[in-house]
Chain A
Amino acid sequence: MRKQSIFLKKYGELIPIYVVMILMIGINVWKQPNFFSVTTLSRTFNQLAPYIFISMAQMCIMLIGGMNFALGGLVSLSTCIFAKTMVESDLRNIPRIIAVILLIGVMEALVGYIIGHFRLPTIVVTLATSFIYEGLALGILPTPGGYVSPNIATFLTGRIGPISVAFLMCLVFVVIWCLIRRSSVGLLIYAVGQNRNAAFSSGLNVTWGYVMAFFINGVLAALAGLMLCARTMSGDPRIANDMTINAVTAAVLGGVTFSGGEGKIAGTIAGAVVVGMLVNVLFYLNITGFYTYFVQGIILIISVVVNNWRRGARRNA
């Protein structure tokens, strides 16, 4: 009884977003009766995985305070680097892929270091890096193209037994995040996000917090880019530029706050699924793609209002 109430207290605020998520899945199942077949499920996951990764990436930055404006550009850039560096031999591709993921992570870690060390506002710096990344992407690959190894693409969009590889990758990262959250790095990120000055005078290494949050965010962005490469079989310097706002919407829907230090991965994932399925659902409901942005904007405002209202209610409880 007591256990249950603690569970409710901790995760109760996630109930609405999960209801919405199940509703969305319901519409999919209704319009697409073979939704639960192995192939359709894995196709759905291939479509959702980039959203899930990029939303988790945005969550990392929102937790430490602020927002990563450059996220979409960064994902686009990473698809270009992947498509430029892959070669015919898959044995040589695997270390290259890992190197690119780490490269993107380190690049972002550097941005985190600059923000933490010089005490700069996250939003301004990432706005600047968004131009840098978008420019770099166009320099590396002016038009969509490049080379993506078919074997790797088939593997990433395929299945191991009945289970989709994209799903497994998400799962692995969720487990990794849970370990981070339980570690001193997790505590550091949440603490800095809630009160940067307090963290400093409590003897926490604030700069290290930014470095770690941005590193994790970079790795996740690269993974999102990798999944997009596998799906499109190419790199594209603009493919994910619009996804920054998707990622913010997903995180906010999942209960991550703009003020920092508050939010859970379980919520963010549900938010990402909702945002990722929105296009499908609007299509099934006969609403033209034209209105997708319109609907997303409305959803973002509603979810911020709901978040605030929920926090207010909790404070009075």
Chain B
Amino acid sequence: MPIESIFSAKEIVKSFGGTVVLKKITIDIKKGRVLALVGENGAGKSTLINIISGSLQADSGELYYEGKKISWSSPKKALQNGIAVVHQELTLFKNLPVYENVFAGNPETMRGIRLNRKTMRQESRRLLEKLGMDIDVNTLVGELTVAQQQIVEIAKAVAWKPKLLILDEATSALDTVLVQKLFAFCRELLAEGTAIIFVSHRMSEIFEISDEVLVIKDGAMVGFYDQLDGVTEDDLVRCMVGYNVETIFPEKNENESREPLLVTRNLSTKNIHNVSIEVRPGEIIGLGGLHGHGQEELLRALFGLEKITGGEITIDGKPYEPKNVQKAIRYGFAYVPPDRKTEGLVLTLPIEENLTITVLRDFCGFMGRINSKKEKAMQDEVRGRLRIDQRQYRQLSGHLSGGNQQKVVIGKWLKSGFKVLLMDEPTRGVDVATKHEIYMFLRELVAQGVAVLLVSTEIIELMGISDRIYIFYEGSVHAELKGADINEEKVTYAIMGLKGE
């Protein structure tokens, strides 16, 4: 019996100002099946999704929904007909309570212009519980953590009772436990006949949930697998990047002998307690744990962004008391924030100016005049070292793909003379090839004697890149893992707050 198709797109073409971003894409989505869409950043996945969901109109090509030819004029039309998207960029209203966010625009809870708040509260509570999130639905969304907001965003899409649910990087802010809850929920929906389009950069997730995989590269279809038996991660990655990535993580190096570079003793802030860690030069230290268990706050505290309530820090043998960011930079810290778009970059400035923004003083002469020759030399060097893919002179950072943006965020610290690089989720939403480049680059950096502290909720990354791992649980260091102890079982156990054997 052939499985019924719910949505199909034929030969979709879309271009933005002369650049063709989708080249005759044809897809077919069937009831109760999961189609994974994979490809590097900037391959055209989000554009395709925006066309399916009515946010953008295709230049040419046809869309069929439940057998009928359609063209959506707005997301509203698509939503009303049962196509809901969980967007990569959250579409939430931070000053509205959770339940209003979940049902904003949803006619389900409207009686004319009146809102049925009782149903809104009940239903949002039920949906959030199913997704494994126990939060008060009256809380303002702005007070939630990123992971909690992501779950609200998912609940919002599901509340439309979609026939086609699109998850665009919906798992990138979630830890393993929440991803499993989400998958369990998705399986329920699939059993009811819902179709799902799944986009993720995590290969393990794709293999776990998908029935079919479509690979897109530079706006064109380069591979399609109608089942995943016998297909390996390498096959997909090769297809995606167009060349063979032998191993994505570089060799580790072990040097226990050197004097510690950074030491904290019983460091405490509002949400972390008595954190004592040691970091040696040349090391990449992974900080693991579920979201909000303190690892992110440690980085922020070291960079002078949180108030220290107790404990001490020494760097290079000197005592250090983080007061503000300027002081942190003076003492040799650099920080790559989790959200490059809002904290890492000035999107409306070109790459060049973003690269020199942290070290501008070095180029300033009389009355703050910038020595543009020196500045340009530095920009060229950094761009070369990080292999930032720049298409035109003074290209705006906002127009770069996620991976390239992340390189700029790292690049702007290169000349600041840092000793410790603090990174919070440096590869979130970054494609495999760029991830590999970033990892290689980090190894290159630490070989010169600096250290890297890296927060990641992705276990594979944490294990692959770290020489040692500190696992955080409820604001304290729960376990320190190194060498052979770094394996999936031990890490997962520690993350859950258990002492695994």
Q: A184-B110, A184-B113, A184-B114 are in contact. Are A199 and B104 (CB under 8 A)?
A: yes
Q: Is the interface of A mostly helix, strand, loop or mixed?
A: helix
- Contact residue range for chain A? 20 to 34
CB of A310 to closest CB in B, whole Å: 13
Q: Does A198 contact B (CB under 8 A)?
A: yes
Q: Does A92 contact B (CB under 8 A)?
A: no
- Pick the contact of B85: A184, A194, A201 (CB < 8 A): A201
Q: Does A187 contact B (CB under 8 A)?
A: yes
- Pick the contact of B95: A183, A184, A194, A202 (CB < 8 A): A194
Cβ of A191: which chain B residues have Cβ within 8 Å of it?
Answer: 93, 96, 100, 104-105
Cβ of B115: which chain A residues have Cβ within 8 Å of it?
Answer: 182-184, 187
Q: Evaluate contact between B93 and A195: CB separation under 8 angstroms.
A: yes
Q: Does A155 contact B (CB under 8 A)?
A: no
Q: Does A25 contact B (CB under 8 A)?
A: no
- Pick the contact of B113: A6, A185, A200, A261 (CB < 8 A): A185
Q: Evaluate contact between B91 and A261: CB separation under 8 angstroms.
A: no
CB of A201 to closest CB in B, whole Å: 5
Q: Does A197 contact B (CB under 8 A)?
A: yes
- Pick the contact of B100: A187, A195, A315 (CB < 8 A): A187
Cβ of A261: which chain B residues have Cβ within 8 Å of it?
Answer: 93, 95-96
Report Cα–Cα, A260/B251, bound state, in Å.
50
Q: Does B409 contact A (CB under 8 A)?
A: no
Fill in one digit per residue for A176-217: 1 if any B CB lies within 8 Å of its CB, else 0.
000000111101101100110111111111000000000000
Cβ of A199: which chain B residues have Cβ within 8 Å of it?
Answer: 93, 104-105
Cβ of B90: which chain A residues have Cβ within 8 Å of it?
Answer: 198
Q: Evaluate contact between A187 and B95: CB separation under 8 angstroms.
A: no
Q: Does B106 contact A (CB under 8 A)?
A: yes
Cβ of B75: which chain A residues have Cβ within 8 Å of it?
Answer: 200-203
Cβ of A187: which chain B residues have Cβ within 8 Å of it?
Answer: 96, 100, 104, 115
Cβ of A315: which chain B residues have Cβ within 8 Å of it?
Answer: 142
Q: Evaluate contact between B156 and A202: CB separation under 8 angstroms.
A: yes
Report Cα–Cα, A267/B137, bound state, in Å.
25
CB of A4 to closest CB in B, whole Å: 15
Q: Does B214 contact A (CB under 8 A)?
A: no
Q: A187-B100, A187-B115, A201-B85 are in contact. Are A195 and B92 (CB under 8 A)?
A: yes
- Pick the contact of B94: A184, A194, A202 (CB < 8 A): A194
Q: Evaluate contact between B106 and A203: CB separation under 8 angstroms.
A: yes
CB of A243 to closest CB in B, whole Å: 27
CB of B163 to closest CB in A, whole Å: 15
Cβ of B156: which chain A residues have Cβ within 8 Å of it?
Answer: 202
Q: A183-B114, A184-B115, A204-B76 are in contact. Are A197 and B106 (CB under 8 A)?
A: no
Cβ of B15: which chain A residues have Cβ within 8 Å of it?
Answer: none
CB of A9 to closest CB in B, whole Å: 10
Report Cα–Cα, A188/B76, bound state, in Å.
14
Most buried by B among A184, A188, A194, A199: A184
Cβ of B93: which chain A residues have Cβ within 8 Å of it?
Answer: 190-191, 194-195, 198-199, 261
Q: Evaluate contact between B95 and A262: CB separation under 8 angstroms.
A: yes
CB of A26 to closest CB in B, whole Å: 33
Q: Does B187 contact A (CB under 8 A)?
A: no
Q: Which residue of B lies closest to A260 (CB)?
A: B95
Q: Which residue of A lies closest to B106 (CB)?
A: A203
Q: Which residue of A lies closest to B138 (CB)?
A: A6
Q: A197-B91, A203-B79, A315-B142 are in contact. Are A190 and B105 (CB under 8 A)?
A: no
Report Cα–Cα, A203/B160, bound state, in Å.
10
CB of B321 to closest CB in A, whole Å: 20
CB of B260 to closest CB in A, whole Å: 31
Q: Evaluate contact between B105 and A183: CB separation under 8 angstroms.
A: no
CB of B403 to closest CB in A, whole Å: 23
Cβ of A202: which chain B residues have Cβ within 8 Å of it?
Answer: 75, 79, 91, 104-105, 156
Cβ of A198: which chain B residues have Cβ within 8 Å of it?
Answer: 90-93
Cβ of B117: which chain A residues have Cβ within 8 Å of it?
Answer: 182
- Pick the contact of B91: A185, A188, A195, A262 (CB < 8 A): A195
CB of B31 to closest CB in A, whole Å: 23
CB of A35 to closest CB in B, whole Å: 37
Q: Does B490 contact A (CB under 8 A)?
A: no
Q: Which residue of A lies closest to B90 (CB)?
A: A198
Most buried by A among B80, B100, B104: B104
CB of A208 to closest CB in B, whole Å: 11
CB of B80 to closest CB in A, whole Å: 7
Report Cα–Cα, A205/B104, bound state, in Å.
11
Cβ of A185: which chain B residues have Cβ within 8 Å of it?
Answer: 113
Chain A positions 206-230 with a Cβ under 8 Å from a chain B Cβ: none
Chain A positions 234-274 with a Cβ under 8 Å from a chain B Cβ: 261-262
Q: Which residue of B lies closest to A186 (CB)?
A: B115
Chain B positions 55-94 with a Cβ under 8 Å from a chain A Cβ: 55, 74-76, 79-80, 85, 87, 90-94
Cβ of A205: which chain B residues have Cβ within 8 Å of it?
Answer: 76
CB of B341 to closest CB in A, whole Å: 13
Report Cα–Cα, A6/B110, bound state, in Å.
26
CB of B155 to closest CB in A, whole Å: 12
Cβ of A183: which chain B residues have Cβ within 8 Å of it?
Answer: 113-115
Report Cα–Cα, A201/B78, bound state, in Å.
10
Report Cα–Cα, A203/B96, bound state, in Å.
16
Q: Which residue of B lies closest to A195 (CB)?
A: B93
Report Cα–Cα, A191/B53, bound state, in Å.
20
Cβ of B53: which chain A residues have Cβ within 8 Å of it?
Answer: 201
Report Cα–Cα, A191/B76, bound state, in Å.
15
Report Cα–Cα, A200/B90, bound state, in Å.
13
Report Cα–Cα, A73/B94, bound state, in Å.
34
CB of B55 to closest CB in A, whole Å: 6
Fill in one digit per residue for B106-118: 1 if any A CB lies within 8 Å of its CB, else 0.
1000100111010
Cβ of B105: which chain A residues have Cβ within 8 Å of it?
Answer: 188, 191, 199, 202-204
Report Cα–Cα, A123/B91, bound state, in Å.
24
Report Cα–Cα, A261/B96, bound state, in Å.
9
Fill in one digit per residue for B142-164: 1 if any A CB lies within 8 Å of its CB, else 0.
10000000000000100010000
Q: A184-B110, A184-B115, A185-B113 are in contact. Are A201 and B80 (CB under 8 A)?
A: no
Q: A185-B113, A201-B55 are in contact. Are A190 and B91 (CB under 8 A)?
A: no
Cβ of A194: which chain B residues have Cβ within 8 Å of it?
Answer: 93-96
Cβ of B160: which chain A residues have Cβ within 8 Å of it?
Answer: 203
CB of A64 to closest CB in B, whole Å: 12
Report Cα–Cα, A197/B87, bound state, in Å.
12
Most buried by B among A182, A184, A200, A203: A203
CB of B8 to closest CB in A, whole Å: 23
**A-B CB contact pairs (8 Å), 30 listed:** A6-B138, A183-B115, A184-B113, A184-B114, A187-B100, A187-B115, A190-B93, A190-B96, A191-B96, A191-B105, A195-B91, A195-B92, A195-B94, A197-B91, A198-B90, A199-B93, A199-B105, A200-B55, A200-B74, A200-B75, A201-B75, A201-B85, A201-B87, A201-B91, A202-B79, A202-B105, A203-B75, A203-B160, A261-B95, A315-B142
- Shortest beta-carbon contacts, A-B, top 6: A198-B91, A203-B79, A204-B105, A203-B76, A203-B105, A194-B93
Given A184-B115, A198-B91, A199-B93, 14 other A-B residues pairs in contact with their CB atoms under 8 A: A187-B104, A191-B93, A191-B96, A197-B91, A198-B93, A200-B75, A201-B55, A201-B91, A202-B91, A202-B104, A203-B74, A205-B76, A261-B93, A315-B142
